[in-house]
Structure formats: C-alpha cells, structure tokens
Amino acid sequence: EAGAVHVFERDGDSWKQVASLRAPAPGNDDNFGASVAIDGDLIVIGAPGEDGGGALVDPLVDEERPNCGAAYIFRRIEGVWTFAHYLKPDDADLRRTRGFGASVAVAGDIVAVGAPEEGTRLATGGFLVPAARAGAVYAYVVEGDGFRFDGRLQAPDAEVGAEFGKSLAVSGLRLAIGAPGAGELRGKVYLMRRGS
C-alpha cells in the first residue's frame, strides 16, 4: 500500500494515460494518492501514512514519525510530470501530527494540506487539556519554483474529534475546511480568507 497516482488527459473522445506518479522514496502503507488535487501544471498528492520525521519543505527523508504523513508536489515541465517538493508539518507540530495529507487542495499559488487526526490542547477551566483528532490545516505559498510554509490553521472553536481538515477546497484567497466530527457530529465547514 505504498500507493501511486495515474494521470490521464483528454484525447479527442477518450482519455489517455500520460503518467504514473510515485513517491521518490516509497514506504509500506504510505497511502500515496489518498488525496489528490490538480491546478494547471501542479499536482499535490497526499500520503497520510508516510513516516518521515523531517519538517517544512524538502526535509531529509527518514522513517522516524510513524503515520505523520506527507504531501508531494509534482510539476509538469515540457509535458512531463516531475517530482518537485516534499511537504511536512512544522517542527512544533511533528509530535502530535497524524495523517498529514489526508486531504489536499491547490489553486493558483496556494496549497493546503489537511491533518484531521492531529491533536491539540484546549484551554478549559484555566488548564490545557488534550484534544485528540481536533485537526489542523497547513498552508503553503508558491514562490517561483519553490514553496514557503505560510501557517497552521485550527478551528477557532476546536473540539475533540472534530477532524478539522478532513476535506478542503481553495479558490483565490479563500479556503473552505470541513470538520465532519464538529458540533456533536453534525459537522461544520469553516471559511477562511488569507490576509493580503
């Protein structure tokens, strides 16, 4: 279950496979391809079972954080889909992140990666208490041929089991984030906008 993504393009009245994409360092149960988003010449692929312990953009590949998750960026260059970047959560979140890459979204120069299994701490009665699977979303911005980590997003009313980031959609500077476990399992969608 290392995973793969197959790319098809419309060819007249039919579809033609043009690429088969895999992680540059595949591992057992990485689930590469569990989520996929495409915009123009950019494909973002989630691998929520990936075990790397590196942080941010293009860290060294290792197997130190089981099921932390990862996202991969592929670019189409002169008609060929080529691996370009490897995304991970930031250092401070590695210890609590699980399933990073369960959802991905891309539009223009914004890439978002969901980590719905990530835990956090909630302020309750003057104490910080653990909140399992509250969820988080990580935002990245395209800068030329590179990527920059742009922030970690959480629900303003984070709660246990909300799974904030289970689904994502991005358009322009707006991001819609699904949290199916929020509101006593009634679910919520959060709309966020990036400041200029």
Q: How far apart are CA 152 and CA 89, in angstroms?
A: 8
Q: Tell me how many degrees the CA angle 85-86-90 measures, rounded to the nearest 5.
A: 125
Q: Residue 1: pLDDT above 90?
A: no
Work out the burial of residue 184: count CB atoms within 10 Å of its CB; fewer than 13 is exposed, 13-18 middle, 19 or more buried: exposed
Average pLDDT taken over every residue of the chain: 91
**Nearest C-alpha neighbor of 93 from the set 117, 123, 73, 71:** 117
The proportion of the chain whose per-residue pLDDT surpasses 70, expressed as a percent, equals 95
Q: Residue 98: pLDDT above 80?
A: yes
Tokens of 24: 């540059």
Can you give the C-alpha Rg of the chain in angstroms? 17
pLDDT score for 137 = 95
Summarize pLDDT for 17-76 with one digit per residue, the tens: 999 999 999 988 999 999 999 999 999 999 999 999 999 899 998 888 899 999 999 999
Work out the burial of residue 140: count CB atoms within 10 Å of its CB; fewer than 13 is exposed, 13-18 middle, 19 or more buried: buried
Contact assessment for residue 147 and residue 113, using Cβ atoms and an 8 Å cutoff: no
Q: pLDDT tier at 82 (50, 70, 90 boundaries)? A: very high
pLDDT score for 57 = 92
Residue 34 CB neighbour total at 10 angstroms: 21
Q: State which H helix or E strand residue 185 sits in.
A: helix 182-185
Residue 92 CB neighbour total at 10 angstroms: 10
pLDDT score for 128 = 65
Extended beta strands in 22-96, E state: 35-39, 42-47, 70-77, 80-87
Residue the block writes with tokens 């919520």: 188
Query: Model-level pTM?
Result: 0.92
Q: Residue 191: pLDDT above 80?
A: yes
Higher local confidence (pLDDT), 82 or 61: 82
pLDDT score for 121 = 74
**Nearest C-alpha neighbor of 103 from the set 45, 186, 38, 28:** 45
Summarize pLDDT for 124-147 with one digit per residue, the tens: 666 666 788 899 999 999 888 888
- Cα-Cα-Cα-Cα torsion 65, 163, 169, 49, nearest 10 degrees, comes to 30
